[in-house]
Amino acid sequence: MTHIKLNTQHVAPFMSEHEYEEVRPLIAMADQELRQGTGVGAEYSDWLTLPSDYDRAEFKKIQEAAKKIQSDSKILVVIGIGGSYLGAKMAYEFLHPSFNNELAADQQAGVKVYFAGNSLSSTYLTDLIRVIADQDFSVNVISKSGTTTEPSVAFRIFKQLLEKKYGTEGAKKRIYATTDASRGALYEESQEAGYETFVIPNGIGGRFSVLTAVGLLPIAASGGDIEQLMAGAKAAQDDYSQPNLDDNDAYRYAAIRRTLYDKGFTTELLITWEPSMRYLAEWWKQLMGESEGKNHKGIYPSSANFSTDLHSLGQYIQDGRRDLFETVIRLDNPQADLDLPKMADNRDGLQYLEDMTVNDINVTAANGVALAHVDGGVPNIAVHIPKQDAYTLGYMIYFFELAVAISGYSFAINPFNQPGVEDYKKAMFALLGKPGYEAETKAYRARLDQ
C-alpha cells in the first residue's frame, strides 16, 4: 500500500473508464523516455534515483553543519530564489508550527529561518535586518552560478552585516554556500574565502532540488528530520517504480491531468485546507509551471487555500469559465485539534456544531465544497496524506516530481529546461545596463519610450 492515496471519485463524472485505456500508450511512452533516458533533457533527471543513491558523505556533512548553526546562531538567513528557496520554505512551513519564529527558543526544534534574495524589495530586506537586530545569525547562500541578481544583491548586504558584526574572519565561518561543484562566481568566492560549501548536483534542476543540499541544509538547521524526509522519498521511489497505470498513482495522476487538458481543462488549482501548506502550493506551482509551460502548451498551475480563499475565489471557481480543475491535498490527521466550546445561547448560530471538533468542521466543509464544485463542472482530484511529517513530505515531493516528468513527456516537451526564464532575464539585464547587453539595452529602452 502506498503512503498517500489518490482519490479519483470526483473525476469520474468528467472522464470515462475507456479514456484511461486511450491514454495508457502515451503514459507508457513517457515512462520509457524517463526511465531509459531517451527523452529530451534526460541529463537533468538524476532526481529520479536520488532518494536511493544520494551522497551519504555530503548528507552527513549537512547534518554536522546544521548542528554547528544551531550551536552558534539563533537565526539562519537562507538566500536564494526559485528552486533555491521554495523547497526549503515549503518544508519549513509544512514541518513546523505556524508561528514557529515567534516561539521561545526552548520550544523550537532548531534555529529560526528567514528567507531573502527571492525579490528585489529594499523594504523587505530592511525589515529582515531589523528582525535580526543583535541576534547571532548565519547565512546559507544558494546559487548555481553566483550571479543571479536577486540572491547576489541580498548576499552582498548580509555578508556585509556578518563582517560588521563578527569581523572578516568570523563572518567566513558563518557563511555556508550551496553552489556548483567546480565552477561559477559563488564557487570561486567560496574557495578563496574558505566558506563551507555544499553541492548542487549537475543532473538536478532547481525546481527538483529540494532533496539535495539546496533544501536539506535549511531544513536540518530548522530542526526538520532530513533522514525521515529521504526515507519517505525512497519509499515513494519504490512504490512508483512500476509503469502499469493501474499500480502507479503518480502515473494515474499524470494521465488524468493530460486527459482533462485535452478536454479543455487547462488550469489546475492546487487546493490546500491548512495555512501551513501555502508554500507547498508555491513550490508545486513552480514545479508544474516551469516543467510544462513550453511551446505554447501545458496546464496553467494556480492555487488556493481553503476555506480562506472560498471568500475571494469561490465564486469564480463555482461559476466562472469551465476550464479549471482542482487537485486537493486532504490531511487525514491534523497536527492538533480543538473542541468547539459549548454556549448557553445560540447567538452565533453554531449550536448545531457543538458536538464536532474544529477539524471535523474543516473536513466536512472540504467534503461539501468538493461536491459543490463537481456539481458546478469542476473536476476534483484528491491526494490524501496521513499526517504532516517529514516522511510524508518526502513521499509527496517525489510523487509530484515523478508525475510532472511523466506529464511533461506526454506533452512532447522537455520537462527539465526553462527557456522562457532566460527571456525575462535578458530584458531585465538590458534595462539594468549589465555589460554585454548594450544592443538589447538600446532596443528595450526605445520600446519603453514609445
pLDDT per residue of the chain (450 residues) written in tens, 0 to 9: 799 999 999 999 999 989 999 999 999 999 999 999 999 999 999 999 999 999 999 999 999 999 999 999 999 999 999 999 999 999 999 999 999 999 998 899 999 999 999 999 999 999 999 999 999 999 999 999 999 999 999 999 999 999 999 999 999 999 999 999 999 999 999 999 999 999 999 999 999 999 999 999 999 999 999 999 999 999 999 999 999 899 999 999 999 999 999 999 999 999 999 999 999 999 999 999 999 999 999 999 999 999 999 999 999 999 999 999 999 999 999 999 999 999 999 999 999 999 999 999 999 999 999 999 999 999 999 999 999 999 999 999 999 999 999 999 999 999 999 887 666 667 777 767 778 777 777 777 777 777
CATH of domain 5-39+232-411: 3.40.50.10490
Query: How much is the pLDDT for 434?
Result: 79
What is the rounded CA–CA span in Å between residue 435 and residue 203? 30
User: Are 389 and 228 a contacting pair, CB within 8 Å?
Assistant: yes
Residues 6+ apart with CB under 8 A from 298: 289, 292, 411, 413
Dihedral over alpha carbons 433, 180, 186, 280 (to 10 degrees):
80
Q: How buried is 92 (Cβ within 10 angstroms: 0-12 exposed, 13-18 middle, 19+ buried)?
A: buried
**Strand 300-305 versus strand 324-331 pairing type:** unpaired
Query: How much is the pLDDT for 66?
Result: 98
Rg (CA), the chain: 23
- DSSP assigned state of 295: T
What is the rounded CA–CA span in Å between residue 429 and residue 435? 9
Query: How much is the pLDDT for 421?
Result: 65
What is the rounded CA–CA span in Å between residue 80 and residue 148? 9
Residues 6+ apart with CB under 8 A from 443: 430
> Percentage helix, strand, coil, to 5, in the chain?
55, 15, 30
Q: How far is CA 362 from CA 141, 304, 367, 408, in A?
A: 39, 15, 9, 34
For 364-394, b/e burial (b = at least 16 CB within 10 A) is: eebeebbeebbeebbbbbbbebeebbbbbbb
Helices (DSSP H) in 226-313: which residue ranges? 226-239, 249-262, 278-292
Q: Residue 334 corresponds to which cell in the numbers above?
A: 491534523
Amino acid sitting at position 189: E
Query: How much is the pLDDT for 23?
Result: 95
- State whether the Cα torsion 49-55-60-66 is positive or negative: negative
Amino acid sitting at position 174: R
Query: How much is the pLDDT for 209?
Result: 98
Query: How much is the pLDDT for 440?
Result: 76
Residues carrying an active site annotation = 290, 425
Q: Which CATH class is domain 49-224?
A: alpha beta
Residue given cell 553566483 in the structure block: 146
Query: How much is the pLDDT for 31?
Result: 97
Please state whether the predicted TM-score (pTM) of the whole model is above 0.85.
yes
Query: How much is the pLDDT for 444?
Result: 72
Query: How much is the pLDDT for 425?
Result: 66
Residues of the chain with CATH 3.40.50.10490: 5-39+232-411, 49-224
